[in-house]
Amino acid sequence: MGAQPTVSDVADVAGVSRQTVSNVLNAPELVRPETRERVQAAIHSLGYRPHASARRLRTQRSSTIGIRLDPITQDGISGSILDRFLHALTEQADRQGLRVLLFTAAGPEDEIEQFRRLSDGADVDAFVLTSTFHGDPRTEWLIENGRSFVTFGRPWGIDDMTDPEHLWVDVDGRSGLRDATRHLLSTAGSRIGFLGWPSGSGTGDDRRTGWLEAMREGSGLSDDELAALEVASEDTVTLGADAVRRLQAAAGPLDGLVCTSDSLALGALTATAGRLPVVGYDDTPVAASLGFSSVAQSLDEVAAGVLELLTGEQGGRVRPPGDVPDTRHRLITPRLVVREGPPLIGSR
Would you tell me which residues interact with a copy of itself (CB under 8 A)? 4, 49-57, 60, 62, 64, 69, 71-72, 75-77, 79-80, 83-84, 86-87, 90-91, 94, 99-104, 120-123, 237, 263, 266, 269-270, 273-275, 284-286, 288-290, 341-348
Quick one: 53 or 199, whose CB is closer to a copy of itself?
53
CA neighbor of 267 nearest in space, from 252, 255, 282, 257: 257
Backbone angles phi, psi at 66, to 5 degrees: -95, 140
100 or 331: whose CB is closer to a copy of itself? 100
Residue with smaller CB distance to a copy of itself, 50 or 312:
50
Least distance CB 34 / a copy of itself (angstroms): 25
Tell the smallest beta-carbon distance from residue 17 to a copy of itself (Å): 21
Is 90 within 8 Å of 101 (Cβ atoms)?
A: no
Q: Which is nearer to a copy of itself, 33 or 346 (CB)?
A: 346
> Under a CB-based contact definition with an 8 Å cutoff, are residues 61 and 125 in contact?
yes
**How far apart (Å, rounded) are the C-alpha atoms in residues 96 and 80?**
25
For the bound state, the minimum distance from the C-beta of residue 287 to a copy of itself, rounded and expressed in Å, comes to 11
Residues with Cβ within 8 Å of 250's Cβ and at least 6 positions away in sequence, in order, are 228
Of residues 30 and 102, the one with the C-beta less far from a copy of itself: 102
What's phi and psi for 257, nearest 5 deg?
Answer: -140, 130
Looking at beta carbons only, is 91 or 217 nearer to a copy of itself? 91
Task: Provide, rounded to whole angstroms, the least separation between the CB of residue 278 and a copy of itself.
Answer: 10
Minimum distance, C-beta of residue 223 to a copy of itself, in the bound complex (Å):
31
Residue in 83, 82, 142 with CA at minimum distance from that of residue 118: 142
SS (H, E, C) 254-298: CCEEEECCHHHHHHHHHHCCCCCCEEEECCCHHHHHHCCEEEECC
CB of 159 to a copy of itself, least distance (A): 29
Nearest to 153 by CA among 139, 143, 166, 168: 168
Nearest approach in angstroms of CB 280 to a copy of itself is 12
The residue type at 183: H
Decide whether 192 or 276 has the Cβ nearer to a copy of itself: 276
Whole-number minimum distance, CB 154 to a copy of itself, in Å?
Answer: 25
Q: Annotate 181-211 with b (16+ C-beta within 10 A) or e (fewer).
A: bbbbbeebeebbbbbbbeeebbbbbbbbebb
Cα 321 to chain centroid, rounded: 20
Measured between its terminal Cα atoms, the distance across the chain in Å is 71
CB-wise, 141 or 156, nearer to a copy of itself?
A: 141
Residue 156 in 3-state DSSP? coil
* Half-sphere exposure for 54 (CA within 13 Å, toward CB): 8
